[in-house]
Structure 1
Amino acid sequence: MHEMSLMESVIEIICGTARLNGARRVKSVRLDVGVLSHVDPNALLFCYDAVRRGTLADRARLEINRITGEGWCLDCGTTVALKERFGACPHCGRHRVQMTAGDELKIRDMEVI
């Protein structure tokens, strides 16, 4: 389960950032997780409960925003929705679509006190 190591890194980043800014506690965290990122949001939530204990984020609420897949077709110059990695362009049928969204995992923001 790679979600555990991902969440350990997220907790390390948010707690480190909170400490650097003089915060006593993290109240909430929002993550953006792309639908094409191969990251299971339910597994992230499970891991979050395990790795936040004893940290500045011990009582922080986690919100996960799902980001849809999107790409740019190099052949027809169209921005298209992607439902799978390396999928064909729905307009021209070619497979030269460069992914522009949907594979990310990033910390959108956090609230601290």
Structure 2
Amino acid sequence: MHEMSLMSEIIKIVSEDAKVNGIRKVSKIHVIVGDLSNVLPDALELAFFHFQKQGLGIIDETTELEMMREVAKARCQTCLLEFTPDYRVALCQKCGLPDCLLVSGETFRVESYEGSDEW
């Protein structure tokens, strides 16, 4: 489950940034997960719960994880149809050509976090 290492990196990134900004406790972490990002939201959430229970660093049992889903969208470069693809490589649903560009759905990033300088 690579979501454990992904969550470990998320916590590391947030912790480092929070330290620079004088934040001692993080109350919420906002993450964007694209449909085609190869990240399983349920597994990422389980990994978060694992680290949350440990109470190490700036997150604890009160810290929340908010995942925002990014819907996958593709656009045909030939007929300009925009549609929801099932895979990264997609045939246009209108003209059938493989001339499609992914517009969204591959994102996986920390969007923001909330916290305070109090324990």
Tell me the TM-score normalised to structure 2 length: 0.86
Percent identical among aligned pairs is 30
Q: 1:9 — aligned with what?
A: 9
The match for 2:81 among 74, 78, 82 is: 78
The match for 1:57 among 59, 67, 85 is: 59
CA distance in 1, matches of 2:70, 2:107: 8
**Runs of 4+ with deviation above 4 angstroms:** none
Larger radius of gyration: 2
* Gap runs ≥5 in structure 1: none
CA distance in 1, matches of 2:36, 2:23: 34
Q: Write out per-residue CA displacement over residues 1-31 of structure 1, whole angstroms, 9 at most, x where no aligned residue.
A: 1111111111111111111100111010111
Cα deviation, residue 104, structure 1 = 1.1
Opposite residue 68 of structure 2, the aligned amino acid is N
CA distance in 1, matches of 2:74, 2:20: 36
Aligned-residue RMSD, C-alpha: 1.4
* Gap runs ≥5 in structure 2: none
